[in-house]
Amino acid sequence: MECIKFDYSKICSFVGKEDFAALQPEAQKALKGLLEGTCRGNDFLGWLNLPEEISEEELAEIEKTAADLRSRTQVVVVIGIGGSYLGARAVIEALSDSFHNYESAGMKVIFAGHNISEDYYYELQNFLENKEFGICVISKSGTTTEPAIAFRLLKELLEKKVGREEAGRRIVAITDAAKGALRSLAEQEGYRTFVIPDNVGGRFSVLTPVGLLPIAIAGFCIRDLVHGAIDMRNNCLRQEISPALEYAIARTALYRKGYAVELLANFHPKLHYITEWWKQLYGESEGKENRGIFPTGADFTTDLHSMGQYIQEGKRILMETVISITRPDYKVEIPVDEDNLDKLNFLAGKRVDEVNKMAELGTQIAHVDGGVPNMKVIMPALNALYIGQLFYFFEFACAISGSILGVNPFDQPGVEAYKNNMFALLDKPGYEEASRIIKAKL
């Protein structure tokens, strides 16, 4: 079985062997704390052994529920925000046909609850008006503002279309095992439910029903995704120095040299939402106590024509990690043109992927020459198995690098600030004093 690889050879002119050696004891201490459950945030380590612990019964129930929703509907709206939708969307986007997004065997999966745009919801309601649709709502509490608004709107629309009883058959809730508004509603209405484990944070939840059910609804093999994660878990836990540990050390060594921004780049447009998932994983895990690497992303070669200038010659704060896919799924050759007005006949007969790979290599050389340390994560192919490996690779490395940084990688206290201000401005009951204070600032 092939496995994704990590190549950090192009950063050796930026950090020396002594820098790597100095970090080894810290990395091993972080690894020990993770494996022994003594690290900060150790009550949220459920993701660590999750791939091995998913039962056949749970996978079968997810597949059965997905098949039933597919049989009843043309469209399923997945409602969630942050980790409650990014992992699923990343996989579905990566595995879908580029021009039939979220569509497989006639089933369309779309997303809501990740914004509060009135125009978005007006257009979504119009789109669903003449569709047979269902809802997969994902929220541990059921009171997070963005998904709660979306669910209220779409639940009302669905019940008007098909009646409360049939709507109950078309709604699946993924929520807390015992408490919260969504759990109470699901029990009251008889919705089918799946549980978000208490010891798995949202951004680490893609291999729980949070990610697996929407992916199965879209028609993709969740078992391959899980098997890939198991492969990488075994790789990480059975080797003293795994690729994920090397990645954590390499990015930390660069951070300590002043490279405070990490650009995750790709040369395949289907990886865009993998980057969005990664941004949340690392941003929420490490951005604390005025510390942390700022995670951002770029889609190449597209963004080389917009951000390439800054990357090449801007302030030297960037490190770059490229996800590189070895084998494309299809073969397309560049034809000969008799007139050759575009001067491209020197490429005639070459596969488009060969040109893309040379663009990738040429970009790496240019960026390194320009002072941007460059690392590479190599995926043999873009399929569910290797995406499963990739998710676990990044999760494991994130836990290690966050621990080395000295923060709790598994909490996110800072995300409450905007919510508290929003509630105060909207005069939510219980926020009267906060409302008085914040309105005085306006």
Catalytic residues: 284, 305, 419
Helices (H), ranges, 218-305: 222-238, 243-255, 272-286
Nearest Cα to 41, choosing from 285, 290, 393, 292? 285
- Which backbone phi and psi does 373 adopt, to 5 degrees? -60, 140
CA angle 394, 83, 376 (to 5 degrees): 25
User: What one-letter code names the amino acid at 353?
Assistant: D
Radius of gyration of the chain (CA): 23
- Percentages helix, strand, coil for the chain (3-state, rounded to 5) are 55, 15, 30
Per-residue b or e along 328-347, where b marks 16 or more CB atoms closer than 10 Å to that residue's CB? eeeeeebeeeeeeeeeeeeb
Contacts of 107 (CB under 8 A, 6+ apart): 70, 73, 74, 75, 76, 217, 218, 219
Check: CB of residue 27 under 8 Å from CB of residue 245. Answer: yes
Nearest Cα to 264, choosing from 242, 294, 292? 294
CA angle 17, 21, 26 (to 5 degrees): 145
User: What one-letter code names the amino acid at 202?
Assistant: G
- Which backbone phi and psi does 404 adopt, to 5 degrees? -60, -40
Distance (Å, whole) CA 258 – CA 293: 10
